[in-house]
Amino acid sequence: MSLKNFLIGSPLHTVQEKKERFTKLVGLAILSSDALSSVAYATEEILMSLMVGGIALTHFSLPISLCISLLIVIVAISYYQTLIRYPQGGGAYSVSKANLGRNTSLVAGASLLIDYTLTVTVSVTAGVAALTSAIPFLFHHRILLCVLCTLILTIANLRGIRESGRLFCFPVYLFIVTVAITIGLGLYYSFFTPEAEPSTKSVLTSNWPLWILLRAFASGCVALTGIEAIANGVQSFKPPEARNAGITLIWMATLLGVLFIGITYVAKHLGIIPVLHETVLSQVVAKTFGRGIMYYIIQAATCLILLLAANTAFAGFPKLTSIIAYDSYLPKQLTSRGDRLVFSNGIIILALFALILIFIFNGYTSPLIPLYTVGVFTAFTLSQAGMVKNWITTKTHGWMRGVFINGIGALTTGVVLCIVAVTKFIHGAWIVLLAAPLIVYLMRKIHSYYSRVQNQIALKNGDTIPHYTKNRALVPISGVIKTSMNAIAYAQLITKNIDALYIALDPNDGKKIQKEWAIWHPEIPLKILESPTRSLIQPLLKYIEDIQDQEEMITVIIPALVPTRWWHQLLHNQISILLRMLLLFKPKVVTITVPLRIEE
């Protein structure tokens, strides 16, 4: 407990929980960090995909970024409709559940769980990539750095830190301003210097440029990740919530589109191509400012905004799992708040999955992008399809316009989802396409189990209340010692029908114990259970089965020795723990542990 309190702080009272409300500027910083941070790697993903077909295809990076920016506008307008319609928060799971049915909502929920997990992994690995680009000798320690960053975020969120406006505003706005200055300076240079040719010879090496262009488009669509965060967090804004959230969404989409196109244009003009040890954004900044103080400021801002983007998943994932668990599709433990008024179990699970992915993909960002994009666009498509169904069903004012806007959003994101799934299938998209149905299957199995449990524990008309007329206490002893006497004394408080049991591994031991027992407790029978196989558990379980009676409850009273130091427990056998676990599955059997504390 001391270690726990040191790491995550002392417990908070429930009355201390209060919800902060954001202004538009603070809300932009907190809820847009995920989307805006994608500027740091979206252009690089496009260029890496184009490089497969040769350097010549990198000239298509700007048209592709323009197409993706148009997609950003479509999705932003669609989510604007969602936040107006669902001011309480229009997450894909909630919208799908309300409009498309339970099965569809589970697909949306599974996609969002994958999305949040990959948000942490992608953002942390990209943040570390920004750091190692500035400090190259750290590149070979990237996995350790990713693990440390993830653990720091986990502990910070377990402590229940509030998303302070000052904490979030500085790195986010520093990133926006410095990247904007970089783009501005790059545009200035572009008017006075010719466009640079990539250092490698410009040769088209592929006969499938259209397929490569589609792959590059699919990779670049990672720029849309996090665009739904504002629609999901409408109630975090100050009144009027929907209006302030809508304005913030427009600001975010505008900034995202401008910064994304700007970085892509400048990278194209400077002839930058992806390399293993340095990000494209780092190369852009280095060629624009040189590797002086401004370079390191921008790299630091990039690293910070990416870590803040990961932090948004630590807020969203536990909330989503608590909602799904409340519907009995995930373990109920996920609905419980921890000592610091946060969903601790959800935070820990998210961290574990993120760490697993970091190790599997060796701390690199690019292999994770296909997995990331599939989950994102599945959630987009289902959310917008749910909105279309809602408009058609309710037919409220402006419903035809709503159907058109959200219909375009659903159609567009659905097409992009198909492109991503097909072009990125062998590059990792198959993992999500396999994992999502598996998660849905597990959710349904969990729900089936909870339904079965609820059906069996609920009282119905005609049910009879259990009635037991007798209680027999069994006290397994390891010898005529104080722990045994302590347990017998407790047994005498609850019943007169007591059997002391000794498991004899050697017949001579049984005779010796019998003589000693007759001196201390002659009024209580001691039964010697022979154990030819030297098992201490099986003879006791068999004895319980032999004496069980329909009207009798058996109470097994287990003597326990409790050392003062935790490590002293390692010096004793754990038979009592195993016995308690096994007896849980025996009908009409209750276990009670009677401890005897060892003094220093």
Residue 17, pLDDT score: 46
Residue 398, pLDDT score: 85
Could you read off the pLDDT of 229-283 as tens digits, one per residue? Answer: 888 778 778 888 889 999 999 999 999 999 999 999 999 988 898 888 899 999 9
Q: How confident is the model at residue 341 (pLDDT cuts 50, 70, 90)?
A: low
Could you read off the pLDDT of 132-160 as tens digits, one per residue? Answer: 999 999 999 999 999 999 999 898 888 76
Q: Is the pLDDT of residue 208 over 70?
A: no
d(CA 115, CA 371): 8
Q: How confident is the model at residue 124 (pLDDT cuts 50, 70, 90)?
A: very high
Query: Average of pLDDT values for 183-196?
Result: 82
Q: Is the pLDDT of residue 304 over 60?
A: yes
Query: Average of pLDDT values for 540-568?
Result: 85
* Paired strand residues for 557: 592
Could you read off the pLDDT of 396-408 as tens digits, one per residue? Answer: 888 999 999 999 9
* Stronger pLDDT, 335 or 572, i.e. the higher one: 335
Q: What is the DSSP string of 498-554?
A: EEEEEEESSHHHHHHHHHHHHHH-TTS-EEEEE-TT--SSHHHHHHHHHH--TTEEE
Q: Is the pLDDT of residue 103 over 50?
A: yes
Residue 555, pLDDT score: 93
Residue 142, pLDDT score: 93
Instruction: Domains for the chain: give ranges and CATH numbers.
Output: 19-449 (1.20.1740.10), 470-597 (3.40.50.620)
Residue 197, pLDDT score: 62
* % of the chain beyond a pLDDT of 70: 91
10 Å CB burial of residue 563 (0-12, 13-18, 19+) is middle
34, two tokens: 């995920």
Residue 84, pLDDT score: 85
Residue 43, pLDDT score: 94
d(CA 64, CA 72): 12
Q: Is the pLDDT of residue 15 over 60?
A: no
Query: Average of pLDDT values for 160-186?
Result: 80
Interacting residues of 319 by C-beta distance below 8 A, sequence separation 6+: 343, 346
Residue 550, pLDDT score: 65
Q: Is the pLDDT of residue 161 over 90?
A: no
Could you read off the pLDDT of 343-391 as tens digits, one per residue? Answer: 889 999 999 999 999 999 999 988 888 888 888 899 999 999 999 999 9
Contact, 206 vs 216, CB < 8 A?
no
Could you read off the pLDDT of 31-51 as tens digits, one per residue? Answer: 888 899 999 999 999 999 888
Q: How confident is the model at residue 571 (pLDDT cuts 50, 70, 90)?
A: confident
Could you read off the pLDDT of 308-325 as tens digits, one per residue? Answer: 888 888 878 888 898 899
Residue 553: Cβ within 10 Å count: 17
10 Å CB burial of residue 571 (0-12, 13-18, 19+) is exposed
pTM of structure: 0.80
d(CA 540, CA 553): 16
Q: Is the pLDDT of residue 578 over 70?
A: yes
Query: Average of pLDDT values for 113-133?
Result: 93
* Stronger pLDDT, 18 or 521, i.e. the higher one: 521
Q: Is the pLDDT of residue 14 over 80?
A: no
Q: How confident is the model at residue 413 (pLDDT cuts 50, 70, 90)?
A: very high
CB crowding 139-166: b at 16 or more within 10 Å, else e:
beebbebbbebbeebbeebbebbebebe
10 Å CB burial of residue 324 (0-12, 13-18, 19+) is buried
Residue 164, pLDDT score: 45
d(CA 9, CA 32): 28
282, two tokens: 């780092």
Q: Is the pLDDT of residue 59 over 70?
A: yes
Please measure the distance between the N-terminal and C-terminal CA atoms of the chain and give it in whole angstroms. 21
Q: How confident is the model at residue 533 (pLDDT cuts 50, 70, 90)?
A: confident
Contact, 317 vs 350, CB < 8 A?
yes
Q: Is the pLDDT of residue 199 over 60?
A: no
Query: Average of pLDDT values for 466-480?
Result: 86
Q: Is the pLDDT of residue 16 over 50?
A: no
Q: What are phi and psi of 596, to 5 degrees?
A: -125, 115
Residue 374: Cβ within 10 Å count: 28
d(CA 544, CA 474): 9
Q: Is the pLDDT of residue 9 over 60?
A: no
What's the whole-number average pLDDT of the chain? Answer: 86
Residue 162, pLDDT score: 52
Contact, 182 vs 284, CB < 8 A?
yes
Report CA 45 to chain centroid distance, whole Å. 24
Least confident of 111-115, 222-226, 233-237: 233-237
Question: Where is mean pLDDT largest: 363-372, 433-442, 455-464, 512-521?
Answer: 433-442
* Stronger pLDDT, 376 or 570, i.e. the higher one: 376
Residue 5, pLDDT score: 56
d(CA 580, CA 156): 37
* Paired strand residues for 556: 474, 591
SS3 157: helix
| Cα three-residue angle 342-348-350, rounded to 5 degrees | 105
Least confident of 3-17, 28-42, 188-202, 326-340: 3-17
Residue 8, pLDDT score: 55
HEC secondary structure over 7-45: HHCCCCCHHHCCCCCECHHHHHHHHHHHHHHCHHHHHHH
